[in-house]
């Protein structure tokens, strides 16, 4: 692509100086003139390398507490001038403006400042003006200028500079320009989201600064990427790289287990496959919770994602090691337990860190994006409205709320059957609620669960009493559902006539 250009001058003004020294020394070795400002100028001077202060170029000092340093025609003229344009070249000569071929600039750490809970004025001062302007100007004029806009690009830039003795191709200049606009757009998105907190203007602006190339997408013929910093959420201890499908299952597992605080729920273990729980149980010990979660569907558990809400101990690890599973997630591991789990070289072992998750979700749809608030409502005892003459017992209420949490994180239409804080079976992703129920009953029977005294959770209301009747005939004694059907009374009447209890939550939990 196009012409290689010999670089003769550079403007350097950076907040982060790690890794900068090698570049400065290389520029000096290549006899490239260096211009700089403020702290960067001092950094270069302290290295014993000649540098021209920008103030000497502009004949204007840094003013307004450093808010205005580089915003001057003698800086931007040298960056934006078209080297093949006679008029531009003439004006450079007329106003004594030197050409600037390299711009090395980064941005104030706006996002880190916001994350640090700093005050508004400190945050506002981290909105970069000069830096972002220099980046955009240099990137726009990539035909003549190269823009290095992040310390992450230092190594690549230094290699190009060294290998080509200070000459840089048009292809490389355009590539760095593309990266520069990615950085500037991400930066502006972060500022918008901060400023918009007080106003809630409906605009879709999302940007993620970390790109991870996956082995492939949902299928081997599809390319796949994850955008985001997984290191914030997980510490990977062992195993192969997470795949696209692994990440979907891991997300489902994490969201489900977030419903079970170990301080209030006790030891809880879940096994997921294709984004749905195939087993989950709460017990006095984590070992027993795992054993009973596996009993929910030992067939589907093969190749699944396993997650615990407590430190995994040796007895639990020994049981897990008998199963082929893709991923194990826990807040911590006993040292010996970790050694056991590492016995399978490809098994992915993750420590989950506590972070704050986004409050909204989005997905592509048609020729746009669907965005919504996340479903953050968890059904609890205070929300329950007794709809039937027979009230649910305390034990049934515990099971109903346990089943409701699972139901919330299962693909619609769904029915969840539970007993003694153990998932007996679920019907997932069915086109009718009655089909979901039949699937759940058939699966529970297949794995020898006694449904007498079990409870049923539904993600949405029952339009007819047929599901309630089928549940009753299977041995289910109590039901939790949102309510809200114009025919709710028919289901209530059936329960009253057959000594079943039913509670309404008033909250639907569709998941598509």
Question: Pairing relation of β-strands 360-365 and 455-458?
Answer: unpaired
Asked if 388 contacts 483 with a C-beta cutoff of 8 angstroms, the reply is no
pLDDT at 325: 96
Name the DSSP class of 383.
Answer: G
Asked if 286 contacts 257 with a C-beta cutoff of 8 angstroms, the reply is no
Residue 401, classified by CB atoms within 10 Å of its CB into exposed (0-12), middle (13-18) or buried (19+), is buried
Whole-angstrom distance, CA of residue 305 vs CA of residue 273: 7
Asked if 487 contacts 464 with a C-beta cutoff of 8 angstroms, the reply is yes
Asked if 460 contacts 430 with a C-beta cutoff of 8 angstroms, the reply is no
pLDDT at 202: 87
Question: Could you tell me the pTM of the whole model?
Answer: 0.87
pLDDT at 2: 58
Peptide bond into 418 cis (omega under 30): no
pLDDT, tens digit only, all 512 positions of the chain: 458 999 999 999 998 899 999 999 999 999 999 999 888 999 999 999 999 998 888 877 777 777 777 778 889 999 999 998 999 899 989 989 999 999 999 998 898 999 898 998 999 988 888 899 999 999 999 999 999 999 999 999 999 999 999 999 999 999 999 999 999 999 999 999 999 988 878 888 888 888 899 999 999 999 999 999 999 999 999 999 999 999 999 999 999 999 999 999 999 999 999 999 999 999 999 999 999 999 999 999 999 999 999 999 999 999 999 999 999 999 999 999 999 999 999 999 999 999 989 899 999 999 999 999 999 999 999 999 999 999 999 999 999 999 999 999 999 999 999 999 999 999 999 999 999 999 999 999 999 999 999 999 999 999 999 999 999 999 999 999 999 999 999 999 999 999 999 999 999 999 99
Rg (CA), the chain: 31
Residue 74: Cβ within 10 Å count:
18
Query: Which positions are annotated as active-site residues?
Result: 140, 274
Whole-angstrom distance, CA of residue 48 vs CA of residue 364: 54
pLDDT at 192: 92
């Amino acid at each position: 692509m196009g012409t290689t250009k010999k670089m003769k001058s550079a403007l350097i003004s950076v907040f982060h100086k790690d890794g900068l020294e090698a570049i400065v020394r290389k520029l000096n070795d290549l006899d490239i003139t260096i211009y700089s400002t403020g702290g960067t100028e001092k950094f270069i001077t302290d290295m014993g390398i000649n540098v021209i202060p920008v103030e000497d170029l502009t004949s204007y000092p840094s003013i307004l507490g450093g808010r205005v340093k580089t915003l001057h025609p003698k800086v931007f003229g040298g960056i934006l001038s078209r080297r093949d344009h006679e008029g531009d070249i003439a004006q450079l000569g007329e106003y004594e403006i030197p050409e600037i071929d390299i711009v090395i600039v980064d941005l104030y750490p706006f996002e880190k400042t916001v994350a640090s809970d700093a005050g508004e004025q400190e945050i506002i001062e981290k909105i970069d003006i000069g830096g972002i302007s220099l980046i955009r100007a240099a990137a726009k004029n990539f035909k003549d200028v190269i823009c290095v806009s992040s310390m992450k690009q230092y190594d690549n830039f230094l290699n190009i500079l060294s290998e080509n003795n200070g000459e840089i191709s048009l292809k490389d200049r355009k590539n760095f320009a593309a990266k520069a606009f990615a950085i500037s757009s991400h930066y502006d998105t972060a500022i918008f989201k901060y400023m918009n907190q007080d106003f809630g203007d409906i605009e879709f602006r999302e940007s993620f600064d970390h790109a991870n190339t996956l082995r492939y997408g949902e299928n081997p013929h599809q390319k796949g990427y994850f955008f985001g910093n997984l290191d914030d959420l997980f510490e990977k201890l062992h195993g192969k790289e997470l795949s696209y499908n692994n990440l979907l299952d891991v997300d489902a597992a994490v969201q489900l287990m977030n419903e079970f605080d170990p301080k209030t729920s006790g030891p809880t273990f879940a096994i997921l496959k294709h984004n749905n729980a195939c087993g989950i149980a709460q017990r006095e010990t984590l070992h027993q919770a795992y054993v009973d979660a596996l009993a929910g569907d030992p067939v589907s558990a093969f190749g699944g994602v396993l997650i615990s809400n407590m430190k995994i101990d040796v007895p639990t690890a020994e049981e897990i090691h008998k199963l082929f599973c893709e991923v194990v997630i826990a807040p911590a591991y006993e040292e010996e337990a970790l050694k056991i789990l590492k016995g399978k070289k490809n098994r992915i072992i993750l420590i989950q860190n506590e972070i704050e998750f986004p409050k909204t979700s989005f997905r592509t749809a048609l020729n746009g994006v669907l965005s919504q608030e996340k479903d953050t409502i968890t059904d609890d005892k205070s929300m329950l409205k007794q709809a039937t003459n027979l009230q649910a017992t305390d034990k049934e209420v515990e099971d109903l709320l346990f089943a409701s949490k699972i139901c919330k994180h299962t693909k619609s239409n769904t029915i969840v059957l539970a007993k003694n804080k153990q998932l007996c079976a679920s019907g997932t992703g069915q086109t009718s609620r009655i089909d979901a129920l039949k699937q759940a009953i058939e699966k529970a029977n297949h794995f020898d669960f006694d449904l007498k005294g079990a409870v049923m959770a539904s993600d949405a209301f029952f339009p007819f009493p047929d599901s309630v009747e089928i549940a009753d005939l299977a041995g289910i004694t109590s039901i939790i559902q949102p309510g809200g059907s114009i025919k709710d009374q028919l289901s209530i009447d059936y329960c009253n006539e057959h000594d079943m209890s039913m509670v309404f939550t008033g909250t639907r939990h569709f998941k598509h």
